Structure 1
Amino acid sequence: MNGKKKEAAIPLLPLRGLLVFPTMVLHLDVGREKSVKALEQAMVEDHMILLASQKDVAVDEPDMDDLYKMGTIARVKQLLKLPNGTFRVLVEGVARALITEVVSEEPYFSVKVEKFADRAAKDLEDEALKRTMLEYFEQYINLSKRLSVDIYASIADIDEPGRMADIIASHLPLKLEEKQRILETIDVKERLNRIIQILHNEKEVLQLEKKISARVKQSMERTQKEYYLREQMKAIQKELGEKEGKTGEVEELKEKIEAAGMPEHVKETALKELDRYEKIPATSAESAVIRNYLDWLIVLPWSKETEDIHDIKRAEAILHEEHYGLEQVKERVLEFLSVKQLTQSLKGPILCLAGPPGVGKTSLARSIAKALGRRFVRVSLGGVRDESEIRGHRRTYVGAMPGRIIQGMKKAGTINPVFLLDEIDKMSSDFRGDPSAAMLEVLDPEQNHTFSDHYIEEPYDLSKVMFIATANHLATIPQPLLDRMEVIHIPGYTEVEKLHIAKRHLLPKQLAAHGLKKAALQIRDEAMLTIIRHYTREAGVRELERQLAAICRKAARLIVSGAKKRVVITETNIEEFLGKRKYRYGQAEAKDQVGVATGLAYTAFGGDTLAIEVSLAKGSGKLVLTGKLGDVMKESAQAAFSYVRSRAEELGIDPAFHETHDIHIHVPEGAVPKDGPSAGITIATALISALTGKPVNRFVGMTGEITLRGRVLPIGGLKEKTLSAHRAGLKTVILPKDNEKDLADIPDTVKRDLHFVLVSHLDEVLPHALVGWKP
């Protein structure tokens, strides 16, 4: 049991934010009136006073409820009045004491207390606890560095465990409430255990603090090292005259943004991204994304523009010099230039050059750019099936980049180039989107001034671009896209045009490519025509150029070997250079024949003549069609057959011919597929000839579709068909009256040699086609 002893009333001194343990010696500054009177009373009596702590330090004039009940009886060892009116007192804690009774509260607190004295150590447990506590305290001192080793030495000499616990508690950085709990712990073992627990916790905290401190120190050292190295780098760069690291790079980018001539809203975006770029570390992945984006914004032409050359005569001369024929296209370009010169503000037209391969669509676009004095850029759309190829990828994707339109504008470097969209009919679509739908915005003059690319994100003005698209087949282009373009058909070249192109452009080009002088190789005109007719079959001139290249190679070998100094190609020796003839073309029949009519056909290689044969045999009225005919030609044959049956009596034909005869209609060259709505009147004429026995004029060629009532419908490809008739040696061409407007496209040289007959009904065909026909 702890010893207890009742005391007489003693003065009470409230302490604010402070607690005194027994055996502690401490200086106090006392200023409150009640506290001063309590001190004076203690000095009068036995110098003993009770020190009790306030629960709330904010209370200036506490009453007994504001004080803890357990305090420390202390001896006043010294009292000194300071100049400011307060007293400095030196006290020494004597023992714990519990307030049992309040005697008075005025003029100072006077209380009766019950005093508690620590018992002496009696067992081994006390000693073990004491040693553990001392060991923990030593570890605490070593870790904290706040207390000197001398304090440990002075405490280690104390024998009483309770006193040692109190002194250790006074040196720990504990809150007032925690110290009060220790003061209120009367039992020594319990007090020792509490101090050990506190020391253990403090030790853990200090170890964590030490680890954190070590980490911070290491980080600080690394940061300081980096800072030092950067400063050194800056100094070196400064000496070398270079700009400083990323700061210099940002300044350089800012200057480029200011000089790029961007619209205000784009410039604002660029500067905002530049600000982000400056703040993000260079090692960040986003830093590279932003830098790439800024580079694109800077390099794109926003306002740089080339001035159009408005010299119409110069432009016309360039177009005529580089391309023979193609009058319709040249006329359209010159019209554009003329209007531009008058208005000074005209949106770029969107032309679509449609025609077979090899007719010069791409090279014509390049010539247009040269004539206008604009930059030329070409983008091939063949095989494009991803919408992002046109509109670009969003910047969130890895490897994102702008679409082909913006890439092309970067390559052009100006906002008004001639932009060639090559093979626009070869685009396709799949699960990644429809690129032709994305092209709608590009090729709409009302929309393309704010073209939106997913990567750039800012509207881009394409209204000043002159777009030229090329296509082989318009049928594969979606109708909404086709509607946005002005289609100019380039059907192909005539033999005369090919001859001029070969002489003026292809042959000089190949002579230069093969190192031959103009005088070293000569190709006569009749030889050139033979090459065109019998060694090529195309609408364009690519194969013709390859044949000329073959001749140049063989000529070069002959000249180098010394066999010849000069090579002349004539119609007689052409086979020595190009081998046997590869193709044949239709020729007029040797004499007028019954049941054989000459039709005119349009193929991918130009026009050709088509002999249609009809034979009769005894039978039950079967109609046999041969010659690898397509569905359209089979239907034309059926329509012609039905027309002849319906008009048999009027035509002087046995009305029962379809019951007594089998009719066989054949188109020679069965391996070649034939189709198209233009053979109706030719089949009908051959059929009537076979049934009436009247021969067909061998110098007459015809083209036109027929209805069941005998009306003749218009056809396409008249220019090519007429040229094939001229080439075959025909004298008369029968064609639908509705095609009269197309005669303007036929060269004058051909018109002079041919007689054109315009018909609207089959009855008008027969007098010109059948020899000796009388209606």
Structure 2
Amino acid sequence: MSDEVDQTDHTSDSGDDRPLSIPDEIPVLPLRDTVLFPDSFMPLAVAREASIRLIDKALAEDQLVGVFTQREASIEEPTQDDLYSVGTITHIHKMFKLPDGSLRLIVQGLARVSLKTIIETDPFIRAAVSSAEESVSDSDHLEIDALQRNINNNFQQIVSLSPLLSDDLQALSGNITDPGKLTDFIASSLTTLATSAKQEILETLDLRSRMDHLNRILIKELEVLELGSKIQSEVQSEVGKNQREYLLREQLKAIQKELGETDDQAKEIEELREKINTSGMPEAVQKEAFRELDRLSKMPPAAAEYTVSRTYLDWLVMLPWNLRTEEKIIDLARAKETLDGDHSGLDKAKDRIIEYLAVRKLKPDTKGPILCFVGPPGVGKTSLAKGIAASLDRKFVCVSLGGMRDEAEIKGHRRTYIGALPGQIIQGLRRAESKNPVFILDEIDKLGTDFRGDPASALLEVLDPEQNTTFRDHYLDVPFDLSEVLFITTANVLDPIAPALRDRMEVLELPGYTEDEKAVIANEHLIARQIDNHGLSSEQIAFTEDALRFVVRGYTREAGVRNLEREMGALCRKVARRHAEGDDSPITITSEAVVEMLGAPKFLDEEVAERTKQPGVAIGLAWTPVGGDVLFVEATRMTGSGSLTVTGHLGDVMKESAR
């Protein structure tokens, strides 16, 4: 790549073949991110004060200038270590001075020179240099000829493929016969070549090695351009295809409009396409939706599959893929007030919800717990879950699992079945129109199992935070993220729940209410609700504390308060009837009024004392899911033959004990 030293002196106009005379000392112009090759012209911008002084003196004294590239472009005052050791001696052809004081030069590279040492740096850099002559071995001539042809051919192809290179370079390179000059010309013409790579070519004095290095660079550049051209061609082809389809559709619409025809199917397809684009689906789901839409667009509306495909797309676009209920700033005091206002007692469950809200306030992206409220009927499990939704400002969805025996109720039916639909989980999310509702799975202990599958096993994926991020309904057959849903399950007993399912839930037991708690609940919630339900007012009816406790003790025997609310309703109906018949006097419900309206008490506290007065009666306690009961075991003396026969299937041990 180095130019021969025996070149025409470009500083003279004689045009003879005298060798270029390189002075021992020359002024040095440092270059930033630029490499000048011999026999090439290049524009340069000069702005440094020292460089401007150098140019002025070189032009005044008609001196040659050495240009050396800086190793680091950011250095303002380079030293010898900051410059590459090989540069180019140049001749300044033209100089333009700009209003801001900077210069624009047109320079021509003449020959390679080596930097020996810097002599002075003020007023500009002067250095001792020596000629860096190109070396060629006699045995390399054949290989050099082959490399020259390869380099030329590769460069011709690169120019034809690259939009950055002028086509004139093909003719210019074809006219250069000297291999060294051709190598330098091509290296200086490649705009994509890094400065370090150009400097490496400049510093390689062995011609064969320099050409081999450049040839490898050209081959790599050619591969990159061919790949880029292929990619561009594919993109243009795809864009051309899409534009062609668009134009044809627009033309078809225009023709139909002129003929007064309307294509309802095309309109329907476009509406679905717009809904898919705006639904916020993940990329994989959107790809499946567009595939199904393309399939739908090719079906006639009368086809049996058309309705099936259309229904499937309707489900996809109506799901809340990216819709959330925006929660307000979490206020723990307000949340506790909301929970206390709706429910009395249940402190353990309320504390757990407040703890969850506190964690969510500190870490908003935390996953919600899977809570399971276990307790007797009527203690407020479902209503507490509704209160949680209200305290979180979220939508509320409730699905009753009692008697459910089909796995498809949870995960949906496959689309091959007639009338197939998604499961209750996806249907609930569609009704809520939010992907982060409070989702109640009521009566989870009442799930059944038969030949249609096990719904409890299907719930394992739904209630597992590690799996439900990609919940796949059989009908949709695309993943849906359930990780933002707050699942709450309710049950009366834990025993029927499968161990694997129970392990996925955080169990909170809600015990039955005491007499005092029931009286408080009646005063704070039940009485006002029943008075309002029966069209009465607090001025028309009132309950004494003794009457409330009398109803609790004598007419209900349960863990919850459902029967208590029914008895309150019965009393309100009696009063409502009196008012409807014209008796508008206010009534205060006392213990005597309760007996008059509801009849004799159903349960007596004296029962235990009365029945145990007689010999032969013992007391036992029985546990039941609804609170338990007192058992009376009686022994009766009877005349007989002195033998005892046990029937049934009590087993051999019981028979031996009875005889």
TM range (shorter): 0.5 to 0.7
Equivalent residue of 1:363, what SS? helix
1:381 aligns with 2:396: no
Q: Answer yes or no: is the 8 Å Cα contact 1:359–1:490 preserved in 2.
A: yes
Residue correspondence of structure 1 range 542-581 to structure 2 within 5 A: 542-581=562-601
Q: Answer yes or no: is the 8 Å Cα contact 2:374–2:492 preserved in 1.
A: yes
Equivalent residue of 1:335, what SS? helix
Distance 1:427 1:249, change over 3 A: same
Residue correspondence of structure 1 range 365-764 to structure 2 within 5 A: 365-585=385-605, 589=609, 602-606=623-627
Structure 1: unaligned runs, 5 residues or longer? 1-228, 626-630, 639-661, 663-775
Residue correspondence of structure 1 range 261-300 to structure 2 within 5 A: 261-300=280-319
Amino acid at match of 1:245: D
Amino acid at match of 2:386: R
Amino acid at match of 1:380: S
Q: Which has the larger radius of gyration?
A: 1
Q: Distance in 1 between matches of 2:375 and 2:303?
A: 52
Q: Answer yes or no: is the 8 Å Cα contact 2:493–2:625 preserved in 1.
A: no
Residue correspondence of structure 1 range 197-236 to structure 2 within 5 A: 234=257
Amino acid at match of 1:560: A
Equivalent residue of 2:359, what SS? helix
Q: Which residue of 1 aligns with 2:348?
A: 328
Question: Cα RMSD between the aligned structures?
Answer: 3.5
Q: Deviations over 1:648-706 (max 9, x none)?
A: xxxxxxxxxxxxxx9xxxxxxxxxxxxxxxxxxxxxxxxxxxxxxxxxxxxxxxxxxxx
Q: Distance in 2 between matches of 1:474 and 1:235?
A: 70
Amino acid at match of 1:498: K
Q: Answer yes or no: is the 8 Å Cα contact 1:559–1:566 preserved in 2.
A: no
Structure 2: unaligned runs, 5 residues or longer? 1-251
Equivalent residue of 1:572, what SS? helix
Residue correspondence of structure 1 range 93-108 to structure 2 within 5 A: none
Distance 1:568 1:236, change over 3 A: farther
Q: Distance in 2 between matches of 1:249 and 1:601?
A: 65
Distance 1:536 1:301, change over 3 A: same
Q: Deviations over 1:684-729 (max 9, x none)?
A: xxxxxxxxxxxxxxxxxxxxxxxxxxxxxxxxxxxxxxxxxxxxxx
Deviation (angstroms), 1:364: 0.9
Amino acid at match of 1:251: E
Q: Deviations over 1:600-629 (max 9, x none)?
A: 654444355667789999xxx99999xxxx
Deviation (angstroms), 1:597: 7.7
Q: Distance in 2 between matches of 1:314 and 1:622?
A: 72
Q: Distance in 2 between matches of 1:622 and 1:445?
A: 64
Amino acid at match of 2:422: P
Distance 1:530 1:624, change over 3 A: farther
Q: Distance in 2 between matches of 1:610 and 1:490?
A: 25
Distance 1:237 1:425, change over 3 A: farther
Q: Distance in 1 between matches of 2:585 and 2:429?
A: 51
Equivalent residue of 2:592, what SS? coil
Amino acid at match of 1:257: I
Q: Answer yes or no: is the 8 Å Cα contact 2:617–2:633 preserved in 1.
A: yes
Q: Distance in 2 between matches of 1:537 and 1:320?
A: 25
Identity %: 51
Q: Distance in 2 between matches of 1:349 and 1:236?
A: 61
Q: Distance in 1 between matches of 2:531 and 2:491?
A: 31
Distance 1:378 1:234, change over 3 A: farther
Per the normalisation by structure 1, the TM-score is 0.48
Equivalent residue of 2:507, what SS? strand
Q: Distance in 1 between matches of 2:483 and 2:541?
A: 49
Q: Which residue of 2 aligns with 1:337?
A: 357
Q: Distance in 1 between matches of 2:434 and 2:505?
A: 23
Deviation (angstroms), 1:256: 0.8
Q: Distance in 1 between matches of 2:497 and 2:621?
A: 28
Q: Which residue of 1 aligns with 2:371?
A: 351
Amino acid at match of 2:565: E
- Report how many aligned residue pairs link the two structures: 402
Q: Answer yes or no: is the 8 Å Cα contact 2:276–2:286 preserved in 1.
A: yes
Q: Distance in 2 between matches of 1:283 and 1:235?
A: 26
Distance 1:580 1:234, change over 3 A: farther
Residue correspondence of structure 1 range 73-88 to structure 2 within 5 A: none
Q: Answer yes or no: is the 8 Å Cα contact 1:586–1:610 preserved in 2.
A: no
Distance 1:459 1:508, change over 3 A: same
